[in-house]
Chain A
Amino acid sequence: MSRPRPTSFDEELERRLAILARCEEPDRRLPRTDTIALAAITAGCFAIVLIAQAL
Chain B
Amino acid sequence: MTKGANRIEAALAETLPLLPEERSWSFRDMLAVKSGLSIATWGFLFGGATGQLVGFVDGFIALFFGTAVGLGILFFALLLPVYRNGCESFVFLRSAFGPIGASLLAVPLVLGMVPFSAAILSTMAGAATEEVLIGLSLFPADSGLPLAAIMSFAVLGVSFLLAARGSDTLRLFNLATVPLLVLLSGGLLAAVFIEAGWDTILAAAPPETRWDRPTRLMLAVELNIVAAISWFGLVGNLMRYGQSARGATWGTWIGLVPVSLLPATAGLASSLALGSPDPVQWMTPLVGPVLGLAMLLILILANVSSAVGLLQGNVTTIIQNFGAPIRQLGFAGMTGILCVIACLIIWFATDALYARFYSITASFGAIFAACIGVLLADRLVLRRSKVDLAGLHDTAGGPYAFWLGVNPAALIALAVGFAAYITLLEPVSQTPNPAFRYLSASLPAIAAAFAVHLALSRVVTIRARRGGYPGGRQAKLEIVDAEPAE
Contact = CB atoms under 8 A, between A and B. Distances in A.
A16 B84 contact: no
Contacts of A13: 16-17, 393
A6 B8 contact: yes
B16 A45 contact: no
A10 to B, nearest CB: 9
B176 interface: no
Given A1-B10, A7-B6, A34-B246, A16 B17 contact: yes
Contact of B17 (A6, A17, A46, A49): A17
Contact of A49 (B1, B61, B85, B390): B61
A45 B17 contact: no
Please indicate which of the listed interface residues B19, B71, B213 has the most CB atoms of chain A within 10 Å of its own CB: B19
Given A16-B16, A20-B17, A6 B7 contact: yes
Contact of B438 (A20, A21, A30, A50): A50
Nearest to A34: B246
A21 B218 CA distance: 47
A12 B20 CA distance: 15
Contact of A38 (B22, B58, B249): B249
Contact of B5 (A7, A27, A54): A7
A29 to B, nearest CB: 6
B217 A52 contact: yes
Given A48-B61, A50-B438, A52-B58, A9 B393 contact: no
B217 A30 contact: no
Given A42-B69, A48-B61, A52-B217, A9 B327 contact: yes
Interface in B1-49: 1, 3-8, 10, 12-13, 16-17, 19-22
Given A52-B58, A52-B61, A34 B249 contact: yes
Interface string A39-53: 101110110111011
Interface residues of A, number: 38
Nearest to A13: B16
A25 B245 CA distance: 12
A45 B393 contact: no
A28 B217 contact: no
Interface of B: 1, 3-8, 10, 12-13, 16-17, 19-22, 58, 61-62, 64-66, 68-69, 71-73, 75-76, 80, 83-86, 213-214, 217-218, 221, 244-246, 249-250, 253, 324, 327, 389-390, 393, 437-438, 443, 481, 486
27 contacts: A1-B10, A1-B13, A1-B19, A1-B21, A6-B8, A7-B7, A7-B8, A9-B12, A9-B327, A16-B17, A16-B19, A17-B17, A17-B390, A20-B86, A21-B390, A23-B20, A26-B244, A30-B83, A30-B249, A42-B68, A42-B71, A45-B66, A45-B72, A46-B69, A49-B61, A49-B217, A50-B438
Given A1-B22, A7-B3, A28-B84, 15 more contacts: A1-B19, A1-B21, A7-B5, A7-B8, A16-B16, A20-B389, A27-B486, A28-B86, A28-B245, A29-B80, A29-B245, A38-B76, A45-B68, A46-B65, A49-B61
